[in-house]
Amino acid sequence: MERDIIFISHTTPQDNYFAAWLYAKLKDLGYHVWLDLEDISAGDSFNTVIRPIIQEKAKIFIATTTKTYATKAKDQNSGVSRELNCATTIDIKSLGNNFIIPIRVDDIEYDDFPYHYLGWNSINFYGNWQQGLIDLFKELDKIKIPKSEDMEDPITVWFNAIKSQNRVIPRKEKYYSNWFKLHLPENIYVHQPELYTEEDIYKIPYPLIIESYRIISFMKKESTDKFTQVKNCHRFAIESFFSNDELRVDNDFVLKEPRKKLIRLLNKSFQQHLSAKGLICWSRGERRKHKIFYFRNTPENRKPISLGRYSKSRSRRILTGRSTEIVEGERKIVNWHFALKAEADLEPIPHYKLFYAVVFTDKNFKRFDKELHHRFRRSIPSDWYNRKWLETLLAAMLFISPSKETEHISVSIDDASCMVIENEPFYGISEIGYYEPQHVE
């Protein structure tokens, strides 16, 4: 009998989520994989089901090593211990490869690995599941593990692996997008100052962009005059800026790509609003053009925000929090901060697309470097399913609204004017719903 199965050994239920994720990924890559969540049924015993698979069918035995796994390996009555003891009896000479592949899933020290493979080379998944999967795939490819020609749908595999009762359920459900409707001002203005000075421009508190020493903004002349004397003011209907065709302002000035200028102005308007609400701007990239805004980790921001505004009376979300992680070999405080980035668009109707992320800082609120950020993103919010990400975004939108009950965000654009953004995103209603894992916080 040809050995072609990858056997995943893990602790139940503590490591079910990771094991199910790995199972689905390997299935997606075309491998024959065995996991007790999927293949063992009630009443099956170790000797009649698991032992024959390990001894006769498995080509590789993956030990998903965590602190819990190592603890259970010491208990001779545990399933983990029996699986490992069985795996160590396999004749690797007949296989042509090492049978046990240890993978490190959490922050367990390598010296604490089970004695069955203590000191062996292992594949590190901790902090970066994607890189761990790449390294594991390279190892499996080197061993030439057979693949299936008829691969299963990975989504079906995933739902089966986590033992969801049904992939879908017959109930009405609201599905949100990340688009928020924008009510544009009627007019946009191009001002020519009598004397252009950066000092005067810097004092203007409302959103604007500069093009050839002209001020493009939603401010009327009366508001602009308070900061810099306006020589000429030209008013345009906002629709004039929907096209990228050149727009003649006066005899001396032709505005190129007005649509792009409007998008820039709208993006800057949202950014200034976030700054006014106390969020911290982080400019990233080589030219520091990519800006995200994250919430300060303060007692006020750690208070749960009720989502009753969205008919989710039982849901409450926080925008910042604190964890402890291994940093440079020591367990240290890590603050996490929910972050936002907005991109304006005019089609099919004016709206903002809201993107979100998590930023991590040390106990002094100094941002960690890129490598640690990447690692923390793979660990701290690893159990944030769709619902938690969405509800945290909704909580963030309430935070930057005039109050937790209002249905819009008001962005100041002039002494007496605001631009309105609806704080509930576009959504659709489906007759079909789905379950998420019950342990989502």
Over 319-387, what HEC string results? CEEEEEEEECCEEEEEEEEEEEEEEEECCCCCEEEEEEEEEEECCCCCECCHHHHHHHHHHCCCCCCHH
Q: Please give the tally of structural domains in the chain.
A: 3
| Same domain, yes or no: 275 and 253 | no
129-169: pLDDT as tens digits: 888 888 898 888 888 888 775 555 555 555 554 444 445 56
Let me know whether 280 and 231 are in one domain.
Answer: no
Structure-token match 């200034």, residue found: 272
Q: Which residues have a Cβ under 8 Å from the Cβ of 291 and sit 6 or more positions away?
A: 271, 281, 282, 283, 284, 341
The bridge status of strand 5-9 relative to strand 280-284 is: unpaired
| 116 within a domain of the structure (yes/no) | yes
440 located within any domain? no
Answer yes or no: do 157 and 102 share one domain: yes
Q: Can you give the pLDDT at residue 439?
A: 41
Is residue 408 assigned to a domain?
yes
Instruction: Tell me if 40 sits within 8 A of 50, measured CB to CB.
Output: yes
pLDDT at 438: 46
385: closest CA among 136, 15, 21?
Answer: 21
Last residue within a domain, chosen from 218, 236, 266: 266
Does residue 148 share a domain with residue 12? yes
Residue 110 domain boundaries? 5-161
Identify any residues that bridge with 312 across adjacent strands, giving them in sequence order. 307
The dihedral through the CA atoms of 7, 12, 16, 18 has a sign that is: negative
Give 69-112 pLDDT, tens digit per residue: 999 999 988 889 999 999 999 987 777 778 999 999 988 898 99
Residue 439 lies in a domain: no
In a shared domain, residues 210 and 316: no
Q: Which of 210, 241, 266 is the last residue of a domain?
A: 266
Q: What is the pTM for the complete model shown?
A: 0.64
Are both 293 and 259 inside the same structural domain?
no
Q: Could you count the other beta carbons within 10 Å of the beta carbon of residue 185?
A: 18
Same domain, 121 and 201: no
Is residue 241 over pLDDT 80? yes
Same-domain pairing of 299 and 412: yes
Instruction: Tell me the percentage of the chain whose pLDDT exceeds 70.
Output: 89
Last residue of a domain, one of 100, 126, 161: 161
Contact 222, 171 (CB under 8 A): no
Three-state DSSP at 67 gives helix
Contact 114, 61 (CB under 8 A): no
Q: Are 235 and 226 in contact (CB under 8 A)?
A: no
Q: What is the pLDDT of residues 6-55, one digit of tens each?
A: 999 999 878 888 898 899 889 888 899 998 864 444 445 678 888 999 99
The residue type at 377: R
Residue 308 lies in a domain: yes
Same domain, 261 and 121: no
